[in-house]
Structure 1
Amino acid sequence: MKIVILGSGNVAYHLAKAFKEKNIAVSQIFGRNENDLKEISEKFNIPFSTTELLDADFYLIAVNDDAVATISKQITKENCVVAHTSGSLPKEILEGKFRKASFYPLQTFSKSKELKYSEIPFFVEAENENDLKTLENLASKISENVMKSDYEKRKYIHLTAVFACNFVNHLFARAKEISDSQQIPFQYFLPLIKETTSKINTIDPKLAQTGPAIRNDEKILQLHEALINDEEHLKIYKVMNESIKKMYEL
């Protein structure tokens, strides 16, 4: 199967790397950012282009959601499969006479961070069983965790991921703002973060909750509120504590 990846960002980079590690040949990486394409090309020995899209059996679109439909129009071949990697878009967003699919890796990707690709869940969807099996086989060469998922289910998978990853990381960033404001090294909190995230491997998150809100410790809550000078931090603190209280009916 002749494969072309469209995109040069974090997801495209890691998929190219994962394919390379598993000896899955990629015929081309295509996009607009020549510098990023060149980096991927040189690291993983994949030809790149910003102008001429190669003929292929499978095109994998790994770009920002708002660019998926536009870049899909550049694929004019009809007898092929085109899949996007978005968790929040239906396969029907793809515009062309090709067979449409999705190939969604459930992970947060940064070029500078190494990943164990075998642990990443992949959710695949296609228009027919043959294409679905092809995508399952391809994903299974990378990951030990491959599942079918239609758009209705995938939307909720992505929503859950936003709560579990994006919101949590934002709280880390806000926490660092507070520690930085008091010249407290953020590294002091890394063991706490590690224990918090590792704990939910064996304990239901709801049962793992600790802190002043679940204890309904109003003195500590009020003390913390008095310490917070930043309006946004105070808003987050209050909203999060109210959410905890509601979950445990305190």
Structure 2
Amino acid sequence: MQIVIIGSGNVAYHLAKAFILNTISVAQVFGRNEMELSKISQELNIPYSTEKLEDADLYIICVSDRSVEDVSALITKKDCLVAHTSGSLPKEILKGGYRKSSFYPLQTFSKSKDLDYTQIPFFIETETEDDQKILSDLASEISERVMESTYEKRKYIHLTAVFACNFVNHLFARAKEISDAQEIPFNYFLPLIDETVRKIDTIEPKAAQTGPAVRNDKRIMELHELLLKDESLEIYKTMNHSIQKMYEL
């Protein structure tokens, strides 16, 4: 099967790398950013182009959500399968007479960070059972966690990921602002962060909750509020309120 990956960002890079590491041939990486395409090409030994889209059986579009529709229109071949990798777009966003699908990897991707691809969940949505098998078999060569999904379910998967990843990382960034301002090395907090994440491997997140809000320790919360200002203060109040509502405190 001839595979072309469209895009040069984090998802395109890691998907191409996952394929190559699992001896799945990639015919081409295609996109606009020649510098990034060239880096991917040199590292993974995959041909690249910014001009001519190679003929393929499967095109995987790894671009920003706002670009998916326009990029999909570049594919004029009819007898092929096209998949986007978005968590929040329907497969119908793809504009063309080809077979449409979604190939969504649930992970946060950075080019500088190695990943264990076997543990990345892939959620597959297609128009036919035959295409479901094609993409599920392909994902299974990379990952141990492959699941069929509808668009309705995928929207909630993406929403959950925003809470569990993007929001949590923003809290890390805010926490680092506080520690930096007090000249406290942020790496001293990494064991706490690691243990917090490891804990929910065996304990339900709700049962693992600790801290002044779940104890309804108003003295500590009021003290903390005096130390904060602007957005961090609002976040602190909102998070404590949410915790107290969850535990009906």
Tell me, what secondary structure is at the counterpart of 1:107? coil
- Structure-2 separation of matches of 1:133 and 1:217: 54
- Structure-2 separation of matches of 1:167 and 1:64: 19
Alignment match, 2:133: 133
Alignment match, 1:97: 97
Alignment match, 1:145: 145
Alignment match, 1:164: 164
After TM superposition, the structure 1 = structure 2 runs for residues 76-95 of structure 1, keeping only pairs within 5 Å, are 76-95=76-95
After TM superposition, the structure 1 = structure 2 runs for residues 31-110 of structure 1, keeping only pairs within 5 Å, are 31-110=31-110
Tell me, what secondary structure is at the counterpart of 1:207? helix
- Structure-2 separation of matches of 1:160 and 1:129: 27
1:99-124 per-position Cα deviation (integer Å, ceiling 9, x unaligned): 00000000000000010000010000
1:184-241 per-position Cα deviation (integer Å, ceiling 9, x unaligned): 000010000000000000000000000000000000000001111x311100000000
Aligned AA (2:233): L
Aligned AA (1:60): I
- Structure-2 separation of matches of 1:35 and 1:151: 34
Q: Percent identity?
A: 69
- Structure-1 separation of matches of 2:236 and 2:64: 31
After TM superposition, the structure 1 = structure 2 runs for residues 25-36 of structure 1, keeping only pairs within 5 Å, are 25-36=25-36
Moved over 3 A (4+): none
TM-score (norm 1): 0.99
After TM superposition, the structure 1 = structure 2 runs for residues 171-250 of structure 1, keeping only pairs within 5 Å, are 171-228=171-228, 230-250=229-249
1:63-106 per-position Cα deviation (integer Å, ceiling 9, x unaligned): 00000000000000000000000010000000000000000000
- Structure-1 separation of matches of 2:216 and 2:102: 45
Alignment match, 2:120: 120
TM-score (norm 2): 1.00
Q: Does residue 10 of structure 2 align to residue 10 of structure 1?
A: yes
Tell me, what secondary structure is at the counterpart of 2:123? strand
Runs (5+) with no aligned partner, structure 2 = none
Kindly state the Cα deviation for residue 135 of structure 1 after the two structures are TM-superposed: 0.2
Aligned AA (1:248): Y
- Could you say what the CA RMSD is over the residues aligned between the two structures, in angstroms? 0.4
1:118-161 per-position Cα deviation (integer Å, ceiling 9, x unaligned): 00100001111111100000000000110100100000000000
- Structure-2 separation of matches of 1:246 and 1:145: 34
- Structure-2 separation of matches of 1:225 and 1:102: 45
